[in-house]
Homo-oligomer: A and B are copies of this chain.
Amino acid sequence: MPIPDHSALLKEHRLRSTQNSRAVLRLFTSAQRALSHGELSASLAPDVDRGTLYRILHRFESHGLVHRVPDDEVSVKFALCQHCSPQTHEDQHLHFKCQVCGHTHCLAQQSIPEISLPGGYQGQQTEVLLRGICPRCQVAD
């Protein structure tokens, strides 16, 4: 994969290319996993204000650059959208959360199965969260 042009990616999504937004985007592309506000903030502090970081994340989300990943912990996580253009927002997500290291990865390759719903329920989007142990943490056993 070529080194992503963060500035161009931001512009594609109708976002301004600022020092902060590029820094946040850089963390997402290098981490390749879902990150919480706290994780991002720890990497960026004290350069980026907490409140500003929340606004950046919301902005990224509303412009289709990242999506929100439900988490069973206190805070929510965000992950870079992989197959979403600003126009066609991919709505099927598959995530793997390692019970050892706590990291959540997007598994873009796996396909999401069809699930039949009871009468009356109208499905729009399927989100799958697999829990288990990631390759790195199995080695550590």
CB of A100 to closest CB in B, whole Å: 10
What's the tally of chain A residues with a CB closer than 8 Å to chain B? 37
- Pick the contact of A96: B107, B121, B129 (CB < 8 A): B121
- Is A71's beta carbon under 8 Å from chain B? yes
- Which residues of the other chain, B, contact A127 by a CB distance below 8 angstroms? 128-131
- Is A113's beta carbon under 8 Å from chain B? yes
- For window 90-141 of A, CB contacts with B under 8 Å fall at 94, 96, 99, 107, 109-110, 113, 115-135, 138
Binding site for B on A (CB under 8 A): 68-74, 76, 94, 96, 99, 107, 109-110, 113, 115-135, 138
With A117-B130, A123-B130, A127-B128 known, 12 other A-B pairs at CB within 8 A are A74-B76, A107-B118, A109-B118, A117-B132, A121-B132, A122-B133, A123-B131, A123-B132, A126-B128, A126-B129, A127-B131, A128-B129
